[in-house]
Amino acid sequence: MTILYLVLPLALVFAGGAVAAFVWAVRSGQLDDVDTPPRRILFEDERVEPPR
């Protein structure tokens, strides 16, 4: 079970990374509005003329 001594800290580092990503997302305002974006993904994209 010696592998635990490597895997467990590694797992906690990953978890720490996830928390850091969450904190960054909150600080940059991505979770300020949780009502509009889930609707916005349903909109059709604007048609863009293909470049010649």
Q: CA-CA distance, 17 to 30, in Å (whole number)?
A: 18
CA distance readout (Å), 19 to 11, 23, 24, 25, 37: 12, 6, 9, 10, 22
Q: By CB under 8 A, tell whether 10 contacts other proteins.
A: no
Among 3, 6, 39, 49, binds other proteins (CB under 8 A): 39
Count the site residues for other proteins by CB under 8 A.
27
Q: Contact positions toward other proteins, by CB under 8 A?
A: 1, 4-5, 8-9, 11-12, 15, 18-19, 22-23, 26-27, 29, 31-36, 39-40, 42-44, 46
